[in-house]
Amino acid sequence: LIVERRLPKGDALVMAEIAGLQGAKMASMLMPLCHPLPLELAQVFCAAVPERQAIRVWCECASEARTGVEMEALAGVNAALLTLYDLSKPVEPALRIEGIRLLF
């Protein structure tokens, strides 16, 4: 239903991407002592993995600041995944979020 965009609450993939952008931009508000950064780039992608009955989510962030943007990327991914979970739980309550990691 996610891939077909037929969930009762609407298009979960689009909403997850928007939530992921918000999560990346608000990372400093979510985690104590996380620096607020001006992001030059924040992109969230959701892709179906049919053979695993899964949705893969990744977030790319970039900034010209003198620090990394890994917390922003991880916050973006988690916000997107939580949104997918929230919108999908009425039709499939046995969902899992797993394998969250920093790629580079």
Bridge partner list, 47: 56
Helix pair 70-88, 12-25: axis angle to 10 deg: 150
Q: For residue 95, which amino acid is it?
A: L
- CA 30, CA 50: separation in Å to the nearest integer? 32
Give the SS3 label for residue 86: helix
Known catalytic membership, residue 86: yes
**Helices and strands (DSSP H and E) totals, the chain:** 3, 2
Task: Choose, from 39, 86, 94, 100, the residue flagged as catalytic.
Answer: 86
Residues labelled catalytic: 86
